[in-house]
Structure 1
Amino acid sequence: MTIESEAHQRRRDIAASLAKEEATLAAIEESLLAADEMTKSMETILSNFGSRLGKLENAVVPIHRQTKDLQRLQDNTENVLAAIDKVVGYHHVAKRQRDVVGKGIQESLTKYLESLADVQLAVDFFAKNNPDSPELNHVRALFDKGKEKIDEFFQQQVRQSSKAPSPETIFEFLGTQKDGKSTLGPRIASTEGPKPVPIAEFEPSVTADLVKAANWMVNEAKYETFVLHFGQIRGNILHQALGQYKEFIKVNGSGTINAKGRTLTGRKSLTRKQSSILIRNQQAPKRRDRGGARGDDDSIDSEIEPFAQTIFAFTRLAEKEITLIKTILPENSYKKVFDLIVNVPLDSIGQDSKRFVQHVKECQVKKDYPGILTVFPTVEMLKKEQPEIHAKALKYCNDENRHMFGKLI
Structure 2
Amino acid sequence: MIPTEDATGRKREIEEKLKQVSILSSFESRLMALENSIIPVHKQTENLQRLQENVDRTLFCLDHVISYHHVAKDTDKIIKEGTVDLIRFLLHVFQKVRFEKGKEQLEVEFRALLTRYSKPVPPVLILDAIGGDEELEGEVTLEHLPEAVLQDVICIAGWLVEYGRNQDFMNVYFQIRSSQLDRSIKGLKEHFRKNSASSALLYSPAVQTKRKDTPTKKVPKRPGHVTLISPPPLNQSGYDHEPRGVKHLSDALTDKHGASAGKDDVMDVEIDSYIHCISAFVKLAQSEYALLTEIIPEHHQKKTFDSLIQGTAASTKNKLPTLITSMETTGAKALEEFADSIKVRADPVGGCDAEESKEKVLQRT
Instruction: Give the structure-2-normalised TM-score.
Output: 0.46
Structure number with larger C-alpha Rg = 2
Higher RCO, 1 or 2 (CA under 8 Å, sep at least 6)?
2
